């Protein structure tokens, strides 16, 4: 008579969890960033001027450990501009960014936060020492202020906002 041995997860649940933890510790970690596409009623794009890098950017930033990208962008908007979002976010694009300079690869998200009313815009203020300024910009102004790959990402996000279809990018370029 053949006896079937129980799988490890049944006979030694703690040992199995330890095995999974070892595998998890060896797997690659990805940096994750989440930005917000915020527009005013004229369709201008909200940009921020971070003082730790040379070019303007979308509001947002890097996710903390085990923080979901949508929660990261909500946190960053609260921390940077005092903006508390109570609306749903729509994912516009995901950009896989290859290793560059001292950085490993990363996954960057852009979420649509909708159109801000003039009343909400009036409540925005810099609440983080990392920012020097913020401004609503036309697409032409945004193209001039953003790094080339960031402008490509913003263009993809604007397209996704129009088509209601999420765009997947590699280094700011549409892949599919």
**What domain count does the chain have?**
1
Q: Residue 1: is its pLDDT beyond 70?
A: no
Identify the burial level of 8 via C-beta atoms within 10 angstroms of its C-beta, where 0-12 means exposed, 13-18 middle and 19 or more buried: exposed
**Residue 25 resides in a domain:** no
Q: Residue 104 is part of which domain span?
A: 30-174
**Residue 164 resides in a domain:** yes
The per-residue pLDDT for range 44-85, each reduced to its tens digit, is 999 999 999 999 999 999 999 999 999 999 999 999 999 998
- Could you tell me the CATH number of the domain that includes residue 129? 3.90.79.10
**Residue 4 resides in a domain:** no
Mean pLDDT in residue range 3-7: 77
Mean pLDDT in residue range 88-92: 95
Burial 86-115 (b: 16+ CB within 10 A, else e): eeebbbbbbbebeeeeeeeebebbbbbbbe
**Residue 153 resides in a domain:** yes
Q: How far is CA 163 from CA 158, 159, 160, 168, 175, in A?
A: 9, 6, 5, 14, 17
**Residue 161 resides in a domain:** yes
**Residue 123 resides in a domain:** yes
Total-model pTM: 0.87
**Residue 69 resides in a domain:** yes
What share of the chain in percent tops pLDDT 70? 97
**Residue 20 resides in a domain:** no
């Amino acid at each position: 008579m053949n006896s079937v041995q129980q799988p490890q997860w049944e006979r030694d649940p703690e040992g199995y969890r330890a095995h999974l933890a070892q595998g998890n510790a060896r797997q690659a970690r990805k940096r994750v960033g989440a930005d917000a596409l915020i527009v005013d009623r004229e369709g201008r794009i909200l940009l921020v001027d971070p003082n730790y890098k040379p070019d303007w950017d979308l509001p947002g930033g890097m996710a903390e450990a085990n923080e979901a990208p949508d929660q990261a962008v909500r946190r960053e908007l609260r921390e940077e501009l005092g903006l508390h979002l109570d609306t749903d976010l729509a994912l516009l694009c995901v950009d896989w960014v290859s290793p560059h300079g001292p950085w490993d690869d990363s996954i960057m998200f852009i979420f649509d936060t909708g159109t801000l009313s003039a009343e909400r815009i009036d409540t925005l203020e810099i609440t983080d020492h990392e920012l020097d300024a913020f401004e609503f910009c036309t697409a032409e102004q945004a193209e001039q202020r953003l790094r080339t790959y960031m402008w490509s990402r913003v263009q993809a996000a604007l397209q996704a906002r129009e088509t209601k279809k999420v765009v997947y990018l590699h280094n700011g370029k549409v892949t599919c």
